[in-house]
Each structure stands twice: as structure tokens, then as C-alpha cells.
Structure 1
Amino acid sequence: MDATHPDRFLIPTLSACNFVIGIGAFVIIGLLEPLGADLDRSAAQAGQLMTVYAVAYAFLSPLLVAMTGSVGRRRVMAAGFALFALAAFVSAIAPNFTVLSLARIIAAAGAGIFTPLAAAVAAALYPEAQRARVLAAVFFGLTLSQVAGVPAGSWIAYTFGWRWALVLVTALALPCIALIWTRVPAGLKFQPVSLRDLRDVLGEGRLMLAIGFTASFIGAQYVLFTYIAPLLSETMGFGRNGITLVLVISGVGAVFGNIMGGFLSDRLGWRITLSALCVAQILLMPMFSLLPVAPPMLFLLAFLWALGSWSFMAAQQTRLIALAGHRAPVVLALNAAAIYVGAAIGSAFGGALIAGFGLLALGIGAGVGAALALAHLTLSARLAPAPS
């Protein structure tokens, strides 16, 4: 196995590992009510666990990727996943909210090592003409976690207790370590990146503006997504089964969106793809402020919303790799961090909207966020640096 003939199971392995990462990161969304009830926290307070994870990921991911830039990729990726598995186990047995928050920080560190390096490895081992589709395939696991993992975790939490959902994450994480060790090429290294590369990228304003679009786009989604369970509970009267069904439907939309994003990016280019997705979200998300509606209409809305929400990553990663040159691992780490910066900002803003205006303000607030993301995209495209 080498760079010319990568293992045919490499991309499925990276995607499967991202599937587990996605469950561990986002399962909290489906646990907010049972977790909050058990640990004496409101839904908004329990939602702070997403913020804690997001902030930790944003800070630790680029730092750890830069610090390990001279170490073989297989070793670093396996170590990161082992750290993630340990954190999932500690989360499952956490006696209080403080310990759970600390475990989320450790989980973010492990995920922040693995996910950007998975994208960098895939991008480096396959030709440029296939890059968007390969990156979409690697990212597919994260989107698939929305279909199977997050709804399953929510159902388990409502049925057996929230801790068992995190036991599931631990059980899925352990075999991933072995998969990484057997499928990622041994000794795989690229031009080393360092803390100096991280510093240089952080100091390059136009490149950081391009990376920051990820935070803008994701932030708009998480104004609504973080609190979708309590919103559906209050407005639609949904309990465990209704909330799980909506999460499944949105997850199916996410899977199709991930595939669609790679297809559109390869054929239309990243700018048209990303602009169209922003416009779609501006139109769709405010409709959640009109709840309650007939369930079939809600299901269609959830599908279309997720379709657009999860279509952007292949186009954005393709754009950033072209700009990054040999610094791609650091730039992809910062891009992955920007996902969680956006999630943290969106979650915090959504919590503030709930406190000030109630749950029905979330859709309108998310639509405004999508309009800001479109403005950010337009500005960053105009000011983008020349490709490295």
C-alpha cells in the first residue's frame, strides 16, 4: 500500500471513524432533555455541553495537529482516536456536570486530531480531479451519524437513560483504533507542518477569512439544530418517537446532501455551490418559526433543511486545499475547528434567543445567520489569496 495505490478500504475506514466521531460529538443534541433532568440542568444549560466541546475543539485541534506535524500520520490518528474512546467512557460514568464537561474537552481533543488528518491524508493520496468526491466520502461518516447514530442515541437515552447512549459511542470507538492501525499506511508523512505554519496561517487574514466561512455557515445551522428537540417537544407535542423520527429524516437529508455537495462542487465549482446553499438556508430555516404545522410538512422541511446544511463541506474543503498548499493539514484543522466555533456561537446565540424571545425565535434567528454567512462568503471570495 502506497501513495500511488492507496488501500481500497482506506476511505471507508476514515468515513467509518468519522461516523463514530459524529455520534460522539452530536449525540448530546438528542440527550438534552433526559440528561438535563438527571443532572438538574435546563435544556439551555445542558446545551452548553455542545459549546464546551466546540470551544475545546476550536482551540486544541489546530494546536495538536501542528505540534504532531513531524510524527507519522497513522500513529497520531490512532492516538487521537484512543483519546476520544477514553473520553466517551468517562462521559458515560461521569458523576456530575463538571466531570462530564471535562470529558467533553478530552473528546474534542481526540476528534480534533483525527478528523482534519483524515481529510489531509485522503486529499494527498488521490488525484485532484477526484478530490471533492473523496473528501465528500470521508465526510460521509459524519453525515451518516445524523441518520443512524444521533437518532439511535436519542432513542436509547429516552428509553434506557442518557449514559447508555455514551456507552454505545465507547463500544463503537474501540474497533476504530484497530481499523486505523491496519488501513492507514505506516510511516505516512507529508511535508512537515509545525507551530510556525499554524502561526503563519493565523496571521494571513484573507486565508482566515476564507476558513471563517465554515463558522458562519455552521453557526446559522446550530442556532436551530442544538435546540431542535425542545422546539419539537413544545410546538409539535413530540416525545421520544416523534423527535427520533425527525432526526432520522433530517439525517437522510444530510446523507443525500453530502453526496450532492461533492457532485455540485466538482461540476459547478465551490462558489456557485456555496452561494446556492446559503440562499436555500435563508429561505428554509425561518419556516421553523411557523410551527406547529402538519407533520408531513415538518418532515419535508426537516429533510430539505438537512440536505442544504450538509452539502457545503466538500466545496469548502476543496476551496481551502487549493489555497493552502503544503499547509493543508493545518488549514483543514482550522477548518474543522471552525465547524465547532460555529456550533458554539450558534448554540450560544440560540440559547440567548430562547431566553429573550422563546423557542419560536430560533428559525428566524437562524435565517438571519444564513444571510450573514452569504455576506461573509461574498467578501471572502473577493479577498481570497492566490492559491499556493
Structure 2
Amino acid sequence: MIDNNPQLKGRMTVFAPLNAWMFKAMSGHNVQILSVSIFIIGNLICAIAPNFLTLAAGRVISAYGAAMFTPSATALAVELLPPARKGFALSLIFGGMTVSQVAGVPATSWIADAIGWRFSFGFVVIAGLLALIIFAPMMSGIATKAPERGNSPISKGLSKATYGILSVTLFVVVSEFIVYSYVSVFIIGSLLAGVPLLSAALFAYGFGAVTGNVACGVLTDRFGPYKVLIAVVGAQLILLVGLVAFRQHGALTVLIAFFWGNVSYMYLVPIQHRLLGLAGDRSKLVLAMNSSTTFAGIAISAFLGGILVETSGVPSLAAASILIGLIGIGLAVAFMRDAAPAETATAACPR
């Protein structure tokens, strides 16, 4: 049920920390049920909207529900699994996000093209209702920890390291999305028998994101968030440069896109792993701040990338990605390296 619309992400940037504060006194499973319900209502309004104003209102409501869901789901997943499997718990959440992009986004786009945009919103409503029917009974039997404390929406008392890691998120996201935002501009031509190269590359990227996400939780639990983050961000920078350099080389372009997909979501798990270790009883607020930072980074990268493409051409995207990514790696060295490598020496990778 993840939406890739840029305007929705902009609203989630604002709503995520606000929701974390407003619902801090509510148990995690109740926040989950409420967030999905609000998301469903928002999409239902969109499906039956008689005019643009009503449609926009429905989008805002669905964004509000989506912004509630991800930080709360992340905190709840980590809470329910042992500390040594924190990375695996995080990968479960991001696994759902990646699968939604590989399957959900094309499915709703096809429905909109084939039978109308209202039916695409209706499809999301049905999917949301099925999710609510399935997991609401499961949630009712979960005993969760006490709600988070704190009386202010401002992140009072958060450590310097927390802000440092949020800056890592910002620079790493910008370094990736400054290229990703413009793949449709520079990946052109056909792969084989008229298959559009862009479509093949995006499919390979999405498939790689799913497989990479499966491995990420295991790697984070085994080697620790710091080592995994440095490795995947370094690999991503190399692959992004390769994608720009070999953007019209058919099968090679698709192969690079696949490997890029493998590492593209892998930085999210170690960053959130480290943030949860620092957050204490303010985990939902910190995770919401990280979500907002992510969406802000996507917006910034689209803006900067547009300027670069217009003024300096596509190759400048690779140079900017390297520069911004290296800053992110430097910040990670400063703020991530004190993270415990793995919660226990005997932490085994999930089978």
C-alpha cells in the first residue's frame, strides 16, 4: 500500500513526526489499525471524488494514514523480535515496501490505464480492507510495551549522534535519488525485440530491491549496521556512476540496474537499526523523523537533479551523486561507527 507519488511523499514529510507525537500514548497495534483505516478512507474518498478539491482532500487523508503506519510498524516489528534479530525485523518492513513498488505500482497503473483511475483507487481500498481483516485480529492479541513518554512534538533530549545519523540519511538519499529521479530522461532505446530499455531496467531494479532487502537484515544482524552501511553506500555510488555511463548499453544497463536495486534499499535497515539503539523510549518519533528526512531528501534530489540536467547535462548527475554520497559516508564514519556490531556473538542469520 505504499504510494510513490511525489506530492504524497511531501505530505508524509510533514505528517510523520506530527503523528508520532499525537499518537505517542496509543499502543503500537492500535496505531497500526487506525493508520490503515485512515488510509482506506482517504483512498475511498479519492475513488468517489466528484471534483478535484475532494480528490486532493482524499490524497491528504491517505497521506496522513500512510505517515502513521511506517514508523509505528517499524517500531512494533523490532519490539516483537529478539534484539539480535533487529535487522531482520527491519527488513520485513522494507520488504513490504519494495514488493509494493515491484507489484503494486505497476498493477494500479495498469488498472488506471485499462478501466479508469477511479478503479485504481478502488483496488487500493480493497487491498487495504483485506490487510485490515487479516491482521486486526492478530494485533489484538499482542502485548506491547508502555507508550512513549514526552510532552512535546519537538525532539527534546535527542542525542547529537541521532541528528548525525539523520544527516547520513539525508545525504545518502539525495546521492541516490539525484540519479533515480531522472532515469526516464537518460535511459532510452530498446533492449530486445522492441522491449523498452527503461521498462526492463526498472523491472530489474525492483526485482533487485526485493532480493537485496532479504539479505540486508541478515547482514546487519551478523556484521553490524556500520559495516553494512559503508559497504552498500560505496557499492551504490559505483553502480550509479555505471548506470549513467552505460545508460544506453542494453543488457549491461539492465544488469547494472539489477545490482543497484540490490543495494538501493539496504542502507535503510542499518540506519534505522542504529537509530533504534539510540532512541530509547522515543523510537516512534525518531523513526518518524527519519522517514521525514528520507522524503525531504527525495524532494531535494529531484530539484537539484533538474537544475544539473538543464545546466550541465546528464553526466553531471553522476558527479553530484559521488560528491554527495561521499559526504554521507563521511558522516556515517563519524556517527555510525560506535554502533554495536551485533547484539550478541551468537546471532545467527535467519533460515
TM-score by length of 2: 0.84
Match of 1:215 in 2: 170
Counterpart of 2:30 (choices 71, 75, 88) is 75
Q: CA deviation at 1:297?
A: 0.5
Counterpart of 2:189 (choices 232, 236, 239) is 236
Counterpart of 1:139 (choices 94, 110, 114) is 94
| Residues 243-252 or 181-190, more deviating | 181-190
Q: Distance in 2 between matches of 1:81 and 1:130?
A: 26
Letter in 2 for 1:354: V
Match of 1:300 in 2: 255
Cα separation, partners in 2 of 1:202 and 1:255, compared to 1, 3 Å: farther
Cα separation, partners in 2 of 1:223 and 1:354, compared to 1, 3 Å: same
Map Cα deviations across residues 39-79 of structure 1 (whole Å, 9 max, x no partner). xxxxxxxxxxx1x3233212211221221111233332112
Cα separation, partners in 2 of 1:329 and 1:301, compared to 1, 3 Å: same
Counterpart of 2:236 (choices 265, 276, 281) is 281
Cα separation, partners in 2 of 1:289 and 1:101, compared to 1, 3 Å: farther
* CA contact 2:24–2:148 (8 Å) conserved in 1: yes
Match of 2:348 in 1: none
Letter in 2 for 1:70: A
Q: CA deviation at 1:260?
A: 1.7
Q: Distance in 1 between matches of 2:166 and 2:190?
A: 39
Please state whether the residue corresponding to 1:184 is helix, strand or coil. Answer: helix
Q: CA deviation at 1:144?
A: 1.3
Q: CA deviation at 1:121?
A: 1.2
Are 2:288 and 1:318 aligned?
Answer: no
Match of 1:309 in 2: 264
Cα separation, partners in 2 of 1:174 and 1:359, compared to 1, 3 Å: farther
Map Cα deviations across residues 341-366 of structure 1 (whole Å, 9 max, x no partner). 22222222223333334455444433
* CA contact 2:205–2:260 (8 Å) conserved in 1: yes
Letter in 2 for 1:151: P
TM-score by length of 1: 0.76
Are 2:141 and 1:173 aligned?
Answer: no
* CA contact 1:220–1:370 (8 Å) conserved in 2: yes
Counterpart of 2:20 (choices 23, 47, 65) is 65
Map Cα deviations across residues 269-305 of structure 1 (whole Å, 9 max, x no partner). 1111101111112211122323543321111011111
Match of 1:85 in 2: 40
* CA contact 1:350–1:362 (8 Å) conserved in 2: yes
* CA contact 2:186–2:247 (8 Å) conserved in 1: no
Match of 1:126 in 2: 81
Aligned length: 338
* CA contact 2:149–2:281 (8 Å) conserved in 1: no
What are the ranges of 5 or more consecutive residues in structure 2 without an aligned counterpart?
Answer: 340-351
Cα separation, partners in 2 of 1:300 and 1:219, compared to 1, 3 Å: same
Q: Distance in 2 between matches of 1:98 and 1:372?
A: 42
Map Cα deviations across residues 225-280 of structure 1 (whole Å, 9 max, x no partner). 23333443xx3368985544322211110011111211211111111110111111
Please state whether the residue corresponding to 1:236 is helix, strand or coil. Answer: coil
Match of 2:344 in 1: none
Letter in 2 for 1:351: G
Map Cα deviations across residues 323-346 of structure 1 (whole Å, 9 max, x no partner). 112222222222222221222222
Match of 1:106 in 2: 61
Cα separation, partners in 2 of 1:113 and 1:102, compared to 1, 3 Å: same
Letter in 2 for 1:311: M
Counterpart of 2:322 (choices 367, 375, 380) is 367
Match of 1:225 in 2: 180
The Cα RMSD (Å) is 3.0
Letter in 2 for 1:365: A
Q: Distance in 2 between matches of 1:175 and 1:135?
A: 23
Match of 2:227 in 1: 272
Q: Distance in 2 between matches of 1:141 and 1:240?
A: 28
Q: CA deviation at 1:306?
A: 1.0
* Identical-residue share of aligned pairs (%): 28
Name the one with the larger helix percent: 1
Q: Distance in 1 between matches of 2:220 and 2:302?
A: 28
Q: Distance in 1 between matches of 2:81 and 2:161?
A: 27
Match of 2:208 in 1: 253
Match of 1:290 in 2: 245
Letter in 2 for 1:274: L
Q: Distance in 2 between matches of 1:372 and 1:103?
A: 38
Map Cα deviations across residues 19-53 of structure 1 (whole Å, 9 max, x no partner). x2x2xx22x4xxxxxxxxxxxxxxxxxxxxx1x32
Letter in 1 for 2:211: F
Q: CA deviation at 1:202?
A: 7.0
